[in-house]
Amino acid sequence: MAASSRSAREIKRRIQQMEAKRELRRTQEKRRKRDNLVAAGAGTAAVLLAVVLQLTAFAGNPTEDEYAAAQAGLTDPSASASAPATPSAPPTNGPNIPSADTAAGKTFTGELLLNGSPLGVEVDGTKAPQAAAVFKSLSDEGYFNGKSCHRLTTADQFGVLQCGSPNGDGQGDPNYTWGPLENTPADNTYPAGTIAVARTGNNAYGNGTQFFIVYKDTVIPADTAGGYTVVGKVTSGLDVVSKIAAAGITPAAGDTDGAPKQPVTIDSFSLK
């Protein structure tokens, strides 16, 4: 009986060890699945962040912080030397972008109506034929009618009103991008009255439908792609934009960069 009891206890002990090992494996498997789920969630978050960064890039000209950093001579601490990229075909515009030939050598004049107040405008197809072709085409289509001017900056040397975002939120249309850069100022200075094209940062083919009106002399440092295409100028009525600026902003990117407190709508934009 004693030997039989010892044998039973030994069998029971082995069974308990086996159950303990099984439980350990089950715990490890649950932990592995949980860790995989966390990793997947982190990956999803990274993708979402990348999408957000891609979309916000379409906001156009630099934020106030970027402007201040460039003015201070700061460089991107994350930038580093890398091996030369493999040569690739030069970028080209898609078939939905009008040819520069349609505007080359021409000067277009017209009117930009903001909140019922007219601005006389001139678009230069000699210095910026591709940009002029795009803006002539968009204005002929009535694209700008009803669009808003979503961004206003009021810094001492950075005064612009930015307009033309498809949905009025500063985002661009990824299916409507074009280049190259044209008529960019060598000294990064944009005089009052300048009409320039907003674009994705560091991308010479990141122009779209957005533009900005400079209402006071402005300095915008160039990025790795260059400056901003000057497509034309305001010939009359610039005080309309100055009054919008005087009404102030709702700060977003900084104390001097945000949405205009006075909502601004493009009633019409005509060129001939």
Question: pLDDT tens across 93-149, in order?
Answer: 999 999 999 999 999 999 999 999 999 999 999 999 999 999 999 999 999 999 999
Reply yes or no on whether the pLDDT at 47 is more than 80: no
The CA distance from 188 to 222, in Å, is 6
| Fold of domain 100-271 | Cyclophilin (2.40.100)
CA dist 54 → 63, 200, 201 (Å):
15, 9, 10
- Alpha helices by DSSP H, the chain: 2-56, 64-71, 129-141, 238-246
Please tell me whether the overall predicted TM-score, pTM, comes out greater than 0.75 for this model. no
Contact in structure between 271 and 108 (CB atoms under 8 Å):
yes
Confidence of residue 40 (pLDDT cuts 50, 70, 90): very low
Residue 196 has a pLDDT of 99
Percent of the residues in the chain that have a pLDDT greater than 70, as a whole number: 68
**Residue 86 one-letter amino acid:** T
Residues 6+ apart with CB under 8 A from 41: none
Contact in structure between 226 and 184 (CB atoms under 8 Å):
yes
Whether cis (ω within 30° of 0) applies to the bond prior to 180 is yes
- Structure token digits, residue 197: 């094209």
**15, HSE (Cβ side, Cα atoms, 13 Å):** 6
Reply yes or no on whether the pLDDT at 266 is more than 60: yes
Least Cα distance to 105 among 120, 121, 125 occurs for 125
Least Cα distance to 146 among 244, 272, 230, 263 occurs for 263
**Element of type H or E holding 152:** strand 151-153
| Domain layout of the chain by residue ranges | 2-57, 100-271
